[in-house]
Structure 1
Amino acid sequence: MTHMTPQEFRHLGRQAVDWIADYWETLDSLPVAPQIAPGRIRGRLPDHPPTEGQPFEALLGDLSDVIVPGLLHWQHPRFLGYFPANASGPAVLAELLSAGLGVQGMSWVTSPACTELEQHTLDWLVELLGLPDHFRSTGPGGGVIQDTASSALLVALVAALHRAGKGSVRREGVGGTQYALYISPETHSAATKAAIVAGLGEQAVRHVATRPGTQELDVAELRALITRDLDAGITPLMAVATVGTTSTGAVDPVADIGRICREHGLWLHVDAAYAGVAAVCPELRWLNDGVAQYADSYCTNPHKWLLTNFDCDTFWVADRSWLTGALTLLPEYLRNAPSESGEVTDYRNWQIPLGRRFRALKLWAVIRWYGAEGLRAHIRQGIALADRLAGWIGADERFELRAPHPLSLVCFRLRTPPDADRNEANLRLLKAVNATGSTFLTHSTIGDDVVLRMAAGGVLTEERHLREAWQCILQETEAMQGAQADARPRLP
């Protein structure tokens, strides 16, 4: 066995960084999505592990020849599906530093700098996003970096159960008490999964209708469902308000939902995974309406639109005692004087796993490299590109915009003749565009209608890339409509 020496690491590390830089420089020339059959990548890998160690250069070679052809390139300038998963230079370098340090940040004592940098960076982000002061580490609440918004939602639900049961749920489980969780059809599926994991089951989930046109949660129906559950002896537990839904980017009326939650004692979780970081721009602080007054917990993902590579979800609570009260356990092997003094934060009590990586390092690096103005410029560029795209769509009578687009997501669909299957036509267009390899889109539904989604905001995406993607859509539309015309029966 031979460990890599510091000298070898220095030499090979430069090769790895060069490989990444070359990858970024040549991304524009690569197909966005792989056109391969399932099992193709495994078929090119050896059946058995090597008996003897192999040089790192061989791994880099296989990375280029075997792995890259099988990737969906999330950093590609014409990757416009889902939401951006940004990986900026400072974040990647900080992730390398974090890996090299090998820090285990489960408790303050296991690496004080890990905990305190996380607290400080999240306090910076409270200021940058215009979030309430009680989210700061010096207030009654505080923040923590989770892996994803799904984990944030789960721990929020656990904290809500702890508060609703006045501590009994922690000791006895939910027992015979029936709880209800209120979401809309636009809420991320993580909410339903959280109900399953927490032992409430899908039966606890109430789907509140959305308002036509805006796809925002209907507050009147929320009130009606809560009243119905109360009459049936069911305890309303938590409502989830979304700021920037995955399907369409819709923004729920947080303040109106919050007033109902406050009236009936529900926990309000605000899921701003996609859109919350946009509040770094002062003109977009309307995204925070109602958060300061009513949110018991709130999360947003710098790993989507704020230049920080996955995974990095920032999660805050208004009162940390409910969260730590639900999740704190202290086995003998974790006892230490700083923890028992109550003067430090042990982040293991703010999350489901025990162990935790030094995620704050990359967020800290991003904020320091770009500064507030750089972050704002990135957000504004994504919004400007979406506006430009929406203008092109609106000017073409073959297409229609299907949802508001205040941020960087545009939802639209192809118009078809009245006798045609419009959903089938839009799915066929999506498949044709993605099959070209030059552009990648995704789809969703609004009501019964299939819509195509284009999400700007990637680090490398410029207007020319968006224009190229739009041209690809137009070309595939013309090809599809031409084929349909050729297939029509002709008069003899």
Structure 2
Amino acid sequence: MSPEEFRRYGRQVVDWIADYLSTIEAHPVRSQARPGQVRAALPAHPPEQGEPYEAVLQDLSRVILPGVTHWQHPNFFAYFPANASGPGILGDLLSSGLGVQGMVWATSPACTELETVVVDWLAELLGLPDRFRTDAAGGGVIQDSASSASLVATLAALHRASGGKVGADGISGRYTMYVSSQTHSSLEKAGRIAGIGASNVRVVDIDPVTQAMDPVHLRALIDADISAGATPAMVCATIGTTSTTAIDPVAEIGAVCREHGIWLHIDAAYAGVAAVCPELRWINDGVASYADSYATDPHKWLLTNFDCSVLWVSDRQPMIDALSILPEYLRNSATESGAVIDYRDWQVPLGRRFRALKLWSVIRWYGAEGLREHIQAGIAQAAEFAALVAADQDFELRRPHPFGLVCFRPLRTNEETMALLERINDSGELYLSHTKINGQVFLRLAVGALLTTSDHVKNAWAAIQRANQQL
């Protein structure tokens, strides 16, 4: 494809995306495709000769689009938002166009240094402690997802807890990590991958009302494990759980961790970006005093398209020591000088894309003010929806709901609630999800899509009421 052909087709692609976003409400929110439908509509074998790009765009509309669930739809309420904003999309295009592989500083200095700037910008916007800055002992790095961030934090914690022995000699003895039933499943997966083992991932009790981790039970589990000869490696506290957006008591958990020298990781994948609003900085109470690592996802609620998850550490050395391997072909004078960051040592894979471009584009386009307005709008819309639920005697509202998620349920059996959910989602008008709280099924409505307005929230509630009446 020549530069002129790229220019022509590139304009067509941008037009296609712009048309898609401007007409997205014409599509059912959840794909109506049947299993195997998309595959059956595509050739079984690759083409022998190349095809004109018009054919790709035609099949995109004819075959692919019917199989897409529309995450940018204003009536997509099933999961936490995965915002794809204009500046984020353009930043991703620039990243693809440059084709940088930024594994070490020397392979593209701008890729590394822009990333250090934007993660420091974001730390400042969220009010995170200075030690998380890349010009301090710690620093930030863009990962593909919070799952990868959790794994890196786990590996660093395990390295520190073992005094470096795990990396050199493999796991000898028993190491434990601590989560609650509300902690994201990626933490247990990280424990498995790191070699801690699922049986050593200890589940701490939660408060049945708040769904937050119980520090008293955490202390009891740690004490019992130490008495049994285990070495506690990490505790994960969550700010905004996936199920209900519960907030664990970071300060109390952190005090327990400090007593025993245990790594405290904060999973704030969804809710952490809300701290861009000064009035919401309270969610990070205890982070400055106790956190060893902290992760949040701009690719959820902060207008930066997937994938862009930021992990900060208060001390980068355990992470680098756990992950750094330097083969001869990567040796270079900049690395050996010690004056640069090589982000290959801050993640599991060697290779890395120029993700910083899209976060940079988003922050520059919206500014702190625009980012705050987006978060505040989502919270206001969620509050508006919650008020509608609370006013209906046929439904129960789950409180509190400090962010963009509202959990609620019809006053029905669990089976009937699930039937209501399927009726709503099958209609294509809305897309919701569910969770279980103390054995009861609750519906989840997560606000935060870029195109969602107050009218969409009101219409969603009217559709839910109609479906409930028809059940």
Indicate whether the TM-score tops 0.5.
Answer: yes
Instruction: Trace 1:126-165 onto structure 2 (pairs within 5 A).
Output: 126-165=123-162
Which residue of the partner structure matches residue 12 of structure 2?
15
Q: Give the deviation of 1:447 after TM superposition.
A: 2.0
1:174 shift after superposition: 1.0
- Work out whether residues 70 and 76 of structure 2, in 8 Å CA contact, stay in contact via their aligned partners in 1: yes
Partner of 1:87: 84
How far does residue 73 in structure 1 lie from its aligned partner after superposition?
A: 0.4
Question: In 1, Cα distance between the equivalents of 2:336 and 2:98?
Answer: 27
User: Are 1:104 and 2:95 matched, yes or no?
Assistant: no
Is residue 248–residue 403 contact of structure 1 (8 Å, CA) maintained in 2? no
Counterpart residue number, 1:117: 114
Q: In 2, distance between residues paired with 1:153 and 1:94?
A: 26
1:440-455 superposed matches below 5 A = 440-455=431-446
Paired with 2:404 and 2:209, the residues of 1 have a C-alpha distance of: 18
Q: Give the distance between the partners of 1:165 and 1:197, measured in 2 at CA.
A: 16
1:65 CA drift (Å): 1.0
Residue deviations 1:38-76, cap 9 Å, x none? 001111111111111111111111111111111110000
Give the number of aligned pairs. Answer: 471
1:70 to 67, 70, 75: 67
Question: What residue in structure 1 maps to residue 304 of structure 2?
Answer: 308
Residue 77 of structure 1 aligns to a residue whose secondary structure is: coil
Q: Tell me if 1:186 matches 2:182.
A: yes
| Contact 1:213–1:403 (CA under 8 A) maintained in structure 2 | no
Cα offset, 1:402, TM superposition: 2.3
Q: Give ranges in structure 2 of 5+ residues lacking alignment.
A: none
Alignment of 1:421-432 (within 5 A): 422-432=413-423
- Structural mapping, 1:356-371, within 5 Å: 356-371=352-367
* Separation (CA, whole Å) in 2 of partners of 1:201 and 1:168: 17
Moved more, 432-441 or 29-38: 29-38
Which residue type is aligned with residue 256 of structure 2?
Answer: I
CA contact (8 A) 2:105 2:343 kept: yes
Q: Distance in 2 between matches of 1:247 and 1:84?
A: 14
- Pick from 50, 53, 57: which aligns with 2:54? 57
1:478 match: 469
**CA apart distance, 1:201:** 1.2
CA distance in 1, matches of 2:54, 2:378: 37
What CA distance in whole angstroms lies between the structure 1 residues aligned with 2:44 and 2:233? 51
- Give the structure-2-normalised TM-score: 0.99
Q: Which has the larger radius of gyration?
A: 1
Which position in structure 2 is the counterpart of 1:406?
402
Residue 87 of structure 1, CA deviation: 0.1
Matches of 2:33 and 2:197 in 1, distance apart? 38
Higher alpha-carbon deviation: 370-379 or 57-66: 57-66
Which residue identity is paired with 1:126? A
Show the counterpart of 2:201: 205
Q: CA deviation at 1:172?
A: 0.6
Secondary structure, counterpart of 2:350 in structure 1: coil
How far apart are the structure 2 equivalents of 1:299 and 1:196? 20
- Where do 5+ consecutive residues of structure 1 fail to align? 417-421, 481-492
Distance 1:145 1:362 in 2: 11
2:471 is the counterpart of 1:461: no
Distance 1:178 1:448 in 2: 33
Shift of 1:426: 0.8
Take 2:462 and 2:11, find their aligned partners in 1: how far apart are those partners?
39
Secondary structure of the corresponding residue to residue 143 of structure 1: strand
Q: 1:435 aligned to 400, 419, 426, which one? A: 426
CA contact (8 A) 2:161 2:232 kept: no
- Aligned letter for 2:75? R
The 3-state SS of whatever aligns with 1:292 is helix
| Cα distance in structure 1, aligned partners of 2:200 and 2:424 | 40
**Residue 174 in 1 paired to residue 171 in 2?**
yes
1-structure distance, mates of 2:203, 2:440: 19
Equivalent position SS for 2:325? coil
1:233 maps to which residue? 229
Q: In 1, Cα distance between the equivalents of 2:357 and 2:124?
A: 18
CA distance in 2, matches of 1:231, 1:425: 47
Deviation at 1:36, TM superposition (A): 2.3
Q: Quote the Cα distance in structure 2 between the aligned partners of 1:281 and 1:433.
A: 33
Task: Give the Cα separation in 2 of the matches to 1:327 and 1:64.
Answer: 43
- The separation in 1 between residues aligned to 2:435 and 2:52, in whole angstroms, is 45
Q: Distance in 1 between matches of 2:223 and 2:326?
A: 40
TM-score by length of 1: 0.95
Distance, in Å, in 2 between the alignment partners of 1:221 and 1:123 is: 35
Q: Which amino acid aligns with 1:125?
A: L
The answer (yes or no) to whether the contact 2:118–2:356 under 8 Å persists in 1 is yes
CA RMSD of aligned residues (A): 0.7
Name 2:271's counterpart in structure 1. 275
Task: Report the counterpart of residue 248 of structure 2 in structure 1.
Answer: 252
CA deviation string 1:121-148 (max 9, x = no partner):
1111111110000011111100000000
What residue in structure 2 maps to residue 488 of structure 1? Answer: none
1:245 shift after superposition = 0.4
**One-letter code aligned to 2:466:** Q
